[in-house]
Amino acid sequence: MPRFGDDGRVVGTEVRELLVPGPWTTPTAPITSRVAFAAAHVVPHVGADNVPGAPAAVDWDATLAYRHRIWEHGLGVADAMDTAQRGMGLDWAATQELVRRSAAEARSVGARIACGAGTDQLDPAVVAGWEPGDPAALDAVVEAYREQVRLVQDAGAQVIVMASRALARVARSPEDYARVYDAVLAEADAPVILHWLGTMFDPALAGYWGSADVAQATDVFVDLIRAHQGRVDGVKVSLLDADHEKGLRARLAALGSADRTGTGQSAPEPVRLYTGDDFNYPELVVGDGTAHSDALLGIFAAIYPAASTALQALDAGHPDRAHAILASTELLGRHVFAAPTYYYKTGIAFLSWLNGAQPGFQMVGGLQSGRSVAHLVQLVRLADRAGLLLDPDLAARRTRAFLETNGITR
């Protein structure tokens, strides 16, 4: 394997014998200690015209088979999310089919599934012309959300209300966000998951909730949840800030600790915090013995055998072992999600290819070009160190072919 200098030139090589994977186990009973979703990617047809700007041509057999791998390990699937390249290659027509197909597959095996509902069917050129605060534009965002919420509900999946680029464009105040989310949550027929995605994942979401100040935005977010607590199962927060998440987690727990009705009726169930922190997930998911986060993570789609084994250890009352397992994958997670973070999907797909879950290293929208050769070679090293090259012989052959294709030979 090559070693690269800072300028991208090969400065040396190493001979590496890949490790035996694991030891990973599949659960014999449902996982109960945490609710955990892996946000899954989509696999393209290798011969299709999946170039930038083209409609996505999805290999449905491979895409759905990958979800079955995750379900077999006791995890839920979060589908049609940013990991599935919403807004980065997966168009609205393909998204609708993905939601329907994945939800049907989940139902066939009694597995947990939640799907993203956003506003990405809106024409970006039209959105770019909107003026902030335009009531008609805000109404268009609401209607776009409603269409997608209905799609997810009709398919039988839990709704994840995704952050909206269109809303970030048109909203000028916290009140505009409240107006839109009030209308969208009124459409929900079951408790939803609210999604807060940071700018490291999508720069177009700057100032979400009406403020560039995270503390002020958090106050708006909590006020929204408090107003609709009975309709909110949990929140997925992807800010890569463990301290912020712990503080928000405590505030959410407090919402369920008091009788807010004034009528003697019990308060709604506490709102879960589904960590979206692909850097600090070991400490956040395992917790401190008093508080913990549940999980809705893109990295879990890459490390699902380890994530499942760790959660099984939590179920068995062994938090130290669970933490050790997750911590053994942390360097891999930090590398996959390194800046520019929104290209993390390339690493997820590359590892999927190395492990034989897809026939070629390709992505819809041509996004396989989103990471450098040097980045992906280091991903091989870190996945091997974590025991996550599940078929070492296959991974070695594919790594060798990848290097040769990219002009790197002994």
- Lowest average pLDDT, out of 63-67, 76-80, 89-93, 264-268, goes to 264-268
Residues 6+ apart with CB under 8 A from 212: 206
Return the exposure string of 283-321: e unless at least 16 CB atoms fall within 10 Å of the residue's CB, then b: bbbbbeeeebbbbbbbbbbbbbbbbbbbbbbbbeeebeb
Report the pLDDT value the prediction gives residue 268, as an integer from 0 to 100: 72
Contacts of 337 (CB under 8 A, 6+ apart): 240, 278, 279, 298, 299, 344, 347
Q: What is the pLDDT of residue 260?
A: 47
Cα–chain center distance at 231: 21
Share of the chain above pLDDT 90, in %: 96
Confidence of residue 175 (pLDDT cuts 50, 70, 90): very high
**By percentage, how much of the chain surpasses pLDDT 70?**
97
Instruction: Write down the residue that tokens 């940013």 correspond to.
Output: 82
The residues, ordered by sequence, that sit 6+ positions from 208 with a Cβ below 8 Å of its Cβ are 163, 167, 168, 177, 196, 197, 217
Q: What are the tokens at 365?
A: 């929208």
User: Which tokens go with 95?
Assistant: 């998204």
Q: How many CA atoms lie within 13 A of 195 on its CB side?
A: 25
C-alpha–C-alpha distance, residues 116 and 84, integer Å: 10
Res 195 pLDDT > 80: yes
203: its two tokens: 């720069």
Type and span of the H or E element at 76 = strand 76-79
- The residues, ordered by sequence, that sit 6+ positions from 134 with a Cβ below 8 Å of its Cβ are 170
Note the residue count of the chain: 410
Residues whose CB is less than 8 angstroms from the CB of residue 176 and which lie 6 or more positions away in sequence, other chains included: 133, 138, 167, 170, 210
What is the structure's pLDDT at 385?
A: 98
Joined tokens for residue 325? 């397992």
Tell which residue, 161, 152, 184, 179, has the closest CA to residue 236: 161
**Residue found by looking up tokens 């809303």 in the block:** 167
What are the tens digits of pLDDT across the range 227-261?
999 999 999 999 999 999 999 999 999 996 654 44
Instruction: Enter the pTM of the model.
Output: 0.96
Q: What confidence score (pLDDT) does residue 266 get?
A: 61
